[in-house]
Amino acid sequence: MKKYLCILTLLMPAMLMAGEFDGVQALAKRRVPWLAGSLQFKKLQQPKEGFVLRTAADKVVIEATGSNAAATALNWYLRYYCHRSMSHMGDNLAPVSPLPKVPVPVKMDQPLTYRYALNYCTYNYTMSFYNWQDWERELDWMALNGVNLMLVANGSEAVWQQVLKQLNYTDKEINDYITGPAYNAWWLMGNIQGWGGPMPQSQIDSRMKLVQQMIRRMRSLGIEPVMPAFYGMVPSDLKNKTKAKIIPQGTWGAFTRPDILDPADDTAFTRIGSIFYDVTKRLYGKDLRFFSGDPFHEGGSTGGADLGKVGAGIQKLMMKHFPGSVWVMQGWWDNPKTEMLTALNKSNILVQELFGEATSNWELRKGYEGSPFLWCIVNNFGERPGLFGKLQRFIDETHRARTGEFSQYLQGVGIMPEGIDNNPVAYDLTLELGWHKEKLDLNKWIESYVLSRYGKKNEDISKAWAVFLQTIYQSIASRQEGPPENILCARPALQIKSVSSWGTLKKSYDIHLFAEAVKQFAKAAPLMKNSSTYRTDLINFTRQYMANEADSVHARLVAAFNEKDLSTMNKEAKRFLQLIDITDTLLNTGPLYRLSTWQQQALRAGNTKAEKDNNLLNLMMLTTYWGERNDAEDNLHDYAYKEWSGLMTGFYKKRWIIFFDELRAQLRGTEFKKTNFMHWERDWVQQHLFVHKDPKPVNLESLTERILQ
C-alpha cells in the first residue's frame, strides 16, 4: 500500500499539470490532430504570464504559466514554424511532416495583462445565430490568439425574464422588452428594446444553455468572461409602475430606449440590481469577475443626475455581489464621463480605448484620468465588407501607449470589431502586439503572416501584399468608420457620399496601384488551387477591384444624365448592372460570400419553426433596412449591408433597375411615380423570407482572369 502511495505522490504533479492543460490539448485534437500527439505541456513557474516553446527529440514542448499562454504558444509554433493559421476567413491547417524543429527555445513573457475581444455589436453582426459548433470554433481561435478576456453578450434574455417576473411583469410586457436574436447588442447597451422579438421561450432557454456551455469551455482555455452588469437599465414602462427615481432616456433614432434607474435611489436600485445579480449567479456562476455596462450610452440623457454618485452606486452594488469584480467600460464618444470616473475605485475598473485606430483619448484624457485602460480597435462597423486596417498605426499607437507618459495605466490590447468576419490580418496583428515588448517591424511581420496564411512562399503573393500595405492597409490620419464602401450596394441616387449614414465611398489609396497588386496576386492562382485561404482572398480582392470600378461608372452615368445624354446614360447603366451581375457570380464561388450560407445558419440556430422563422426575419432586416419604423428617421438602412451572392442581384440590382427606369422616364419627359425605397425595402424583406437558391458556381480562376484582363 505504501508503495502505491509513493507512486501516486510522485505522479500527482504530472497529473495536475495534465489537467491544467487538458483544454489546450483538446483544442489541438480538434484543429491540428496531426500535431496533438506530439505536444508535451509543462507548468512554468514564474510570476508573469508567459511561455517557453522548444522541441526535444520528436516532441514539441510547451512550458506555460497557464492554459491561455499554452494555447498562444501552440499558435506561435503553428504560425512561425509550421506556417499554418486559423482565421474567420478560411483555415490553413493541413498536416506538416516532418514536424519543424525550434532551433532556439522561444521565451515570451507577457508585458501586459489582458488581450481582450469582442464588441457588443459583434454578437449580432457576426454571431446572432451561432450554435455550439460555431462557438467551439470561435473560442478555439480566441485561445490560439491569446485572448484571455472576452465579452459574453448573449444569454441575458433568461436573466431579465426572471428579474421582471419577480417585479410582477406579465409575459407580454417581458416580450415587449426583450429583443430578437439579432438585436440584443443594442438592447444591452441601452439603445433599444423589444425590436425583432418576441423571442420564443425555447430560444431563451437554449441561449441560456449555450452561454453556460461557452463559459465552461472558456474556463478550460483560460478566457475570463465579461458579463453584462446592472447599470440601472430598466424597461421604459417601469416608471408607470413605481415611484422610484427613474431617468427617462427618450429615443435612439426612432427607437424607444430603456430608461435608467438612478442609483442615488438606493432602495429601488439595490432591490432590482440585487435580483439581477442573484439570477446571474444562479445561471452563470458565482465566480464571475468582470462586468460590462455603460449608462447613458450614445447620447443617453443624464437628466441632471450626479454622475459621481451614479458611478459609485453601480460599482458598489456590483462589488457587493461579486467582491473584487472589475467594471469594464467603453471609451466611446465622451463615455465614460470624467465626473463618473473620478468617483470610482479605479483599481476595479477597466476602460476600453474602443476606436484606437482613429482616437487617442487615452492620451487626451491623461490615461482616462489615471484609470487602467485597454488599447483597442474597432476596424469594422456593421460587418460591412471591404478591405481595411491601419496596421502601422496599430503598432505605433500601442508602442506609444506602452512607453509613454501614461504607460502605467495601460493594461492590455483588444479587438472590438462590430463584425469579425473580415480582414483577419488586422485582428491577428493587434492581438499579437500584446505579447511584444519591443516595437514590431510590420514588413517582417507581414512576411510571416502571409506565409502562415497560405502555407508556402510565392513571389507574386509576396509582391502583392507589399503593395496592399501601401493601399488597402495603409495608415492615414482619419476618423473613417471602417472600410470604404461599395456604391453598387448603395440606396440609389445621383449624389452618393456613402452607403451607410456614417460610412464613406472615398478610397484614400491609389486604386490603380491596388488594381495592379490584385492582378499580381491572381498570377499565383494555378499554384494555389488547393488553398482555401488563397481562394477566399482572391474573391475578396477581386470584389474590391470591381467595387472601385463602379465608382467611375456611376460618375459617368451621373454626368450623362446631367447632360441629358440618354444614350450614354443607358450605356453606363448597363455597365453598372453588369458589375453587379459579375460580382454576384464571383461571390457565389465561395461559401463565405453567399446569402444562403447565412440564411442556413439562421435556420440551424432555431430549434422550432417559430425560432427559425424569426431568425430569418431578424437576419434579413439587419442586413437591409436594419429596423427603423419612422419615415423621418431612416439613418440605419444599409448600415450592415453585405456583398453576398443572392443579395447583389436579388436586392441591390433590383433597387438600381427601378432607379434607372425613373431616370429614363425623367429624361424622356414621361410620367412616373418616384419609389420610396424605405417602404420598398421593407416589402422586399417580407417577400424573401426563404433560403436563396444558388446557381452552380463557375470556375474561380477563369472568372478572375476575365475580370482582371
The CATH number given to whatever domain includes residue 37 is: 3.30.379.10
Q: Which CATH number fits the domain that encloses residue 656?
A: 1.20.120.670
Compute the average pLDDT of residues 517-528.
98
CATH of residue 320: 3.20.20.80
Q: Does 142 fall in a domain?
A: no
Residues 104 and 165 in one domain: no
- Shared domain for 37 and 167, answered yes or no, is no
Task: Show Cβ contacts of residue 340 under 8 Å, excluding neighbours closer than 6 positions.
Answer: 307, 308, 310, 311
Question: What is the share, in percent, of the chain residues with pLDDT greater than 70?
Answer: 97
Write the pLDDT tens digit of every residue in 671-680.
Answer: 999 999 999 9
In this predicted structure, what is the pLDDT of residue 18?
52
Range(s) of the domain holding residue 55? 2-109
**Three-state DSSP class for residue 352:** strand
Summarised one tens digit per residue, pLDDT across range 259-277 is: 999 998 889 999 999 999 9
The per-residue b/e assignment along 80-101, b for 16 or more CB within 10 angstroms, e otherwise, is: bbbbbbbbbbbbbbeebeebee
| CA angle 293–299–300, rounded 5-degree value | 60
**Domain stops at, among 57, 80, 109:** 109
At residue 8 the predicted structure's pLDDT band, cuts being 50, 70 and 90, is very low
Residue 384 has pLDDT above 70, yes or no: yes
Q: How far is CA 202 from the centre of its chain?
A: 26
Cβ count within 10 A of residue 37: 11
CA distance 513 to 521: 12
- CA diameter of the chain: 103
Residue 398, pLDDT above cutoff 70: yes
Given this model, what pLDDT does residue 512 score? 98
- Judged against a pLDDT cut of 60, whether residue 5 lies above it is answered with no
589 and 527 both lie in a single domain? yes
At 632 the pLDDT is 73
pLDDT value of position 280: 98
Three-state secondary structure readout of 137-195: HHHHHHHHCCCCEEECCCCHHHHHHHHHHHCCCCHHHHHCCCCCCCCHHHHHCCCCCCC
Average pLDDT over residues 414-425: 98
> By the 8 A CB rule, do 500 and 639 touch?
yes
Q: Are residues 492 and 629 in the same domain?
A: yes
- Does residue 692 belong to any structural domain of this protein? yes
253: in domain: yes
Please provide the average confidence, as pLDDT, over all residues in the chain.
Answer: 96
φ/ψ bin of 303: left (φ > 0), alpha (ψ from -120 to 50), beta (otherwise): left
Closest by Cα among 289, 376, 297 to 340: 297
Average pLDDT over residues 126-154: 98
- Same-domain pairing of 589 and 650: yes
**Is residue 192 located within the same domain as residue 312?**
yes
Query: Does residue 25 sit in the same domain as residue 89?
Result: yes
- Model confidence at 291: pLDDT above 80: yes
Provide the H-helix boundaries in 32-131. Answer: 33-36, 67-77, 122-125
Find the mean pLDDT for residues 613-618: 98
Quick check: is 145 in a domain?
no
Whole-number pLDDT of residue 265? 86
pLDDT for the residue numbered 12: 35
Instruction: Point out the domain boundary residue: 109, 131, 162.
Output: 109
The verdict on residue 122 lying in a domain is no
The answer as to whether 370 is a domain residue is: no
pLDDT computed for residue 6 by the predictor: 42
What's the confidence (pLDDT) of residue 4?
37
- How many C-beta atoms surround the C-beta of residue 347 within 10 A? 9
Same domain, 102 and 182: no
Distance CA 108, CA 116 (A): 18
* Same structural domain, 493 and 591: yes
Say how many domains are in the chain.
3
Q: What is the pLDDT of residue 266?
A: 87
Residue 645 is classified by DSSP as B
Residue 134 lies in a domain: no
* pTM of the shown model: 0.96
2: pLDDT strictly greater than 70: no
- Whether 19 shows a pLDDT value over 90: the answer reads no
Confidence of residue 190 (pLDDT cuts 50, 70, 90): very high
Is 177 in the same domain as 43?
no
Q: What is the DSSP letter of 489?
A: G
- Tell whether 213 and 308 lie within a shared domain: yes
Last residue of a domain, one of 330, 364, 391: 330
Average pLDDT over residues 635-655: 98
CB 326 within 8 A of CB 303: no
Residue 348 lies in a domain: no
Residue that the C-alpha cell 484614400 belongs to: 508
CA dist 526 → 457, 535, 702, 703 (Å): 14, 11, 10, 13
Q: Are residues 523 and 627 in the same domain?
A: yes
